[in-house]
Structure 1
Amino acid sequence: MLMQKRVLIIGAGALGTSSAEQLVRAGIGSLTIVDRDYVEMSNLQRQQLFSENDAQARMPKAIAAKERLRKINSDVYIEAHIMDAQREELEELFQEADLILDATDNFETRMMINDVSQIYNVPWIYGGCVGSYGLSYTIIPGETPCLHCLLESIPLGGATCDTVGVISPAVQMVTAHQVTEALKILVEDYDSLHRKLISFDLWNNQYTSIKMDNVKRPDCPSCGEKPSYPFLSPENQMKTAVLCGRDTVQIRPGSKQKRDLEALRENLHEGEVMQNPFLLSYQTDKHRMIFFQDGRVLIHGTKDITEARRLYHKILG
């Protein structure tokens, strides 16, 4: 049965490479990998499919992962897409998938995945990992609460791997849960699904399993009785613009927010940081990022919107 199944993985970082390798070794029929980034030396500590040669060549992660996976199991059909998956791309990819694994690095994409999964009735498995902490939850459209429901009750965002790091055992623990749930879905053993939010902190010896049935909301705009799929609407998607005459990209979140600059500063451990009551400036070797209280960010040193979005999510998740 596995050989007839098609899995889509969004993200080829720590979670994505680990899950992809396990699924390819298990012998699924088809795997599609989507990622917008390239391999860097700092990735090798936690992203298991890549080598120093990949980093030195700045190979796109999706391509490097595909080449490595083909050497592991050549019977699996593997597609690699170098792209920043937005609504149009997600809708096209979802129509060919039996299951989606979340291995992305930002909630903007996750919320779009959540809405598209409801439209096309495709299950997906949420996963997140930072430091020694990780969590996972399986979402079955029409049955379980969706990620939008969960966000009303449980804070799932925060720090990123690039600001506080991550230990490899925590990555493997998350993907152990994700891939096990994936295999249950792929062989259609739905009765064995965990149906709980799993969270843990390996360093502090904590493990929690929370039943989420009561979190499902009939008025949820993503999975409720009258869904509007808000995260697919243009006004809720990130706005980007190259500033005229400047080597700068402005990024503005889709929804209004008030950024806590003090909390952001605490998570910035490399580079030069300057702050006044109105903004925070973060200088790295190649770029300067200006964070405003209203959520806007100016990224100096590039006119490439894809690169700017990558830098934005690298800091803010």
Structure 2
Amino acid sequence: MSFDRYSRQERFKPIGVQGQEKLISKHVLVIGAGALGTSSAEQLVRGGVGKLTIVDRDYVEWSNLQRQQLFTEKDAKQRIPKAKAAESKLKEINSEVQIKGHIMDVQREELERLIDGVDVVLDATDNFDTRMLVNDVCQKHRIPWIYGGCVGSHGMSFTILPGETPCLQCLLESVPMGGATCDTVGVISPAVQMVTAHQVAEALKILVDDKEALIGKFVMFDLWNHHYTTMKVDRAKRETCPSCGVHATYPYLSPEYQTKTAVLCGRDTVQIRPPSKMVRDLDEVRMSLVDGEVEQNPFLLSYKKGDHRMIFFKDGRVLIHGTKDVTEARNLYHKIIG
């Protein structure tokens, strides 16, 4: 390790040399490699966290480049999966950190496996289905996680400590989360950075064992209109909560909550997930395509015909662009896959 690499961080008394040594031994899981995920991941890697795992189901598009750091025009042209593009860039930033990017749609089985040995989870997702799953897994395994959301010039963040703070299930009954998305009202990059500044600062406090410094409140802001609010939410914690209460059942880990199709956040895109684990042979898929435009890289195959584009991943998932209709998406899928 370079002697002075983390010198400025070590001079910050709340971290110091001992805190830096703790960081090097810690493992952070980032769910999502979009705007929030890439920003948080870069800060953590530059700060010297020992191990970072980043997970994402999507690939880089041109519209991502405005706010999703770590990605380049080359990544968008080649439709490189975000997890792999992020992993590559992060390894160039700090070769001393163990970095692993996973191209996958996070469901119960995947998350139960990924959570092993993790010290804190950062939420960088774009949907509440995944967040509720993360919430239940973290409650079950008693792992802190940090919620984050961003749209327009608005952002919000809250640190969830199992057994101590309200969980996301509790908060949904008392805190307005909003229903807008980046695709419907847009988003500005500074708002993203504000959210991740809160998330990463909170993560560092947890990782160096300085929980007394945690803000302990729900943070909301509107960066464009100069509004900043913190809310005490202690009373939101419910003993009867199915996710964190006295008799928790972790409902989002049950099979009925594991959907096989999902309309992606604010986009004309449906994801179809196979009913069981598999490894798809992309070359075999390519041979079955008799017309349309086909592009392929080591991670995925893109097939465009008419108004629709289908993206095939090795883990069996397919993204169908050009529709929000699950039935239509399934029909298109079955025409190719059977």
User: What is the TM-score of this pair, normalised by structure 2?
Assistant: 0.74
**Conserved 8 A contact 2:27-2:49:** yes
Alignment of 1:111-126 (within 5 A): 111-126=132-147
Question: Which of 53, 62, 66 pairs up with 2:74?
Answer: 53
Larger Rg: 2
| 1:303 and 2:327 correspond | no
**Conserved 8 A contact 1:289-1:300:** no
C-alpha distance in structure 2 between counterparts of 1:301 and 1:20, whole Å? 38
Aligned to 1:289: 323
C-alpha distance in structure 2 between counterparts of 1:249 and 1:10, whole Å? 20
AA at the equivalent of 2:162: P
**Conserved 8 A contact 1:107-1:157:** no
Cα deviation, residue 161, structure 1: 1.1
Alignment of 1:65-76 (within 5 A): 65-76=86-97
Distance 1:57 1:128, change over 3 A: same
AA at the equivalent of 2:235: N
Identical amino acids, percent of aligned pairs? 66
| 1:37 and 2:58 correspond | yes
Cα deviation, residue 301, structure 1: 7.7
Cα deviation, residue 126, structure 1: 0.2
Cα deviation, residue 155, structure 1: 2.7
Distance 1:302 1:171, change over 3 A: farther
Aligned to 1:98: 119
Cα deviation, residue 236, structure 1: 2.7
**Conserved 8 A contact 2:48-2:97:** yes
| 1:181 and 2:202 correspond | yes
AA at the equivalent of 1:35: D
Aligned to 1:207: 228
Cα deviation, residue 217, structure 1: 0.3
Distance 1:290 1:4, change over 3 A: closer
Cα deviation, residue 203, structure 1: 1.3
List alignment gaps of at least 5 residues for structure 2: 1-21, 263-268, 273-305, 309-320
Aligned to 1:24: 45
Distance 1:118 1:290, change over 3 A: closer
Aligned to 1:218: 239
Which of structures 1 and 2 has the larger relative contact order (alpha carbons within 8 angstroms, sep 6+)?
Answer: 1
C-alpha distance in structure 1 between counterparts of 2:261 and 2:227, whole Å? 40
**Conserved 8 A contact 2:31-2:122:** yes
C-alpha distance in structure 2 between counterparts of 1:196 and 1:36, whole Å? 31
SS in 2 for 1:289: coil
**Conserved 8 A contact 1:44-1:51:** yes
Ranges of 4+ aligned residues in structure 1 off by more than 4 Å: 248-251
C-alpha distance in structure 2 between counterparts of 1:288 and 1:62, whole Å? 23
How big is the alpha-carbon RMSD for the aligned residues of Structure 1 and Structure 2? 2.1
Question: Which of 186, 194, 198 pairs up with 1:165?
Answer: 186
Cα deviation, residue 250, structure 1: 9.1
AA at the equivalent of 1:194: I
Aligned to 1:109: 130
AA at the equivalent of 1:240: T
SS in 2 for 1:39: coil
Aligned to 1:231: 252
**Conserved 8 A contact 1:108-1:237:** no
C-alpha distance in structure 1 between counterparts of 2:62 and 2:100, whole Å? 24
Cα deviation, residue 157, structure 1: 4.2
What are the Cα deviations for residues 51-91 of structure 1, in whole angstroms up to 9, with x where unaligned? 00111111110110011011111100001100001000101
| 1:152 and 2:156 correspond | no
Count of residues in Structure 1 that have an aligned counterpart in Structure 2: 262
Distance 1:11 1:231, change over 3 A: same
